[in-house]
Amino acid sequence: MDKLDIRPIPVESNISPEEFKEKYLLPQRPVVLQNFTDGWSAKENWTYENLKKMAGEHPVKLYGKWLDNEPTRIEMPPVKEVPFREYLEMLERDEKSDLRIFLFNLFKHCPELLKDFSFPNFSDHFLEDFPYLFFGAAGSDVRLHYDIDLSHVFITQFGGTKRITLFEQSESKYLYKLPFTTHSAVDMSNIDYDKYPAVKYAKGYQTDLKPGETLFMPSGIWHYIQYIDGSFSLSLRALADSSIDKLKGAYNVFVVRKLDEYLNKYYGNKWSDYKLKKAMERASEILQEREDERLRTS
């Protein structure tokens, strides 16, 4: 990412809910919150050892590197299934691997964990029925994308550090967004600037999220996640404040995604090739517009 314009995400150590809403929620600006988890017993209780005791024999599906899947396809099949204990032990050893667990609702199996955290009044629209855990081994990453339902996300880190890079929606024109998806075609772990030259104009934010810290990711923000260490996080979602964004999110989930799944099923690689071609064409148009503007003003 050396060629990118990346700024640090601001950090707030003791912000009130009212100040947070004024400075970050309403203007939709990302921030690292160090007091979001005040009073959470999860910070002490959610150790690997305790999780193994509670759910170690539960089978979990593990997912590999997204580039090993067809990069323009969104659905990824799991690469293996193992007891949760086995995967947690790999994280404890900080073993390098691409293997991840995502959208894991451990609370269905261990509802007692729900008492270890709360929904602070930093938002009035938390989706309290949908807390999720995300686990990743050291060296794994999550492709650049934004969440399809356009919810706000409060992501709290446990166990280790992960690096999170964000881009606002205004940067989409540089990020090779695949049509009918909320995903980028670019491999952010090793950007090919010859293939994706527009990326170098994208301006973003970055933070190394530490245990106990919470990153607020506003509705529709692009995010790329790298697991520096084996670790996991809790994701609490909240509905977007804008009615338009709520409608767009619902449309993405129930119409756009279904259409993409249908076309992938029936047209396979032809549909994938079309999406990548359109992403490249749109970025080329943006580059040409920038060049035309430079010539006009030079």
For residue 93, CA distances in Å to 25, 64, 82, 138 come to: 37, 18, 17, 9
Sign of CA dihedral 238, 241, 242, 243: positive
Give the residue from 239, 251, 97 showing the smallest Cα distance to 154: 239
Buried b (16+ CB within 10 A) or exposed e, 122-157: bbeebeeeebbbbbbbbbbbbbbbbbbbbbbbbbbb
Task: Give pLDDT, residue 166.
Answer: 98
Q: Give the Cα separation of 184 and 203 in Å (integer).
A: 15
pLDDT of residue 265: 87
121 CB neighbour count, 10 Å cutoff? 12
Instruction: In whole angstroms, give the CA distance from residue 94 to residue 97.
Output: 9
Domain limits for position 60: 5-297
pLDDT digits (tens, 9 = 90+) for 61-103: 999 988 886 656 667 889 999 999 999 999 999 999 999 998 7
pLDDT of residue 72: 63
Q: Measured over all CA atoms, what is the biggest interatomic distance in the chain, rounded to whole angstroms?
A: 67
Q: Read off the CATH number of the domain in which 41 is found.
A: 2.60.120.650
Which parts of the chain are beta strand (E)? 5-8, 11-12, 31-33, 59-62, 80-83, 100-104, 132-136, 141-145, 152-158, 162-167, 203-209, 214-217, 222-227, 231-238
What CA–CA distances, in Å, run from 288 to 101, 168, 275, 293?
A: 41, 22, 20, 9
The proportion of the chain whose per-residue pLDDT surpasses 90, expressed as a percent, equals 86
What pLDDT was estimated at residue 247?
94
Rounded to 10 deg, the angle between the 48-55 and 84-92 helix axes is 170
Within 8 A by CB and 6+ apart from 298, the residues are none
166-193: pLDDT as tens digits: 999 999 999 999 999 999 999 999 999 9
Total domains in the chain come to 1
Alpha carbon distance 163, 141 (integer Å): 9
Please spell the DSSP secondary structure of 42-55, one letter per residue.
Answer: HHHH--HHHHHHHH
CA atoms within a 13 Å half-sphere pointing along the CA-CB vector of 162: 31
Give the residue ranges of the chain where pLDDT is below 70. 1-2, 69-74
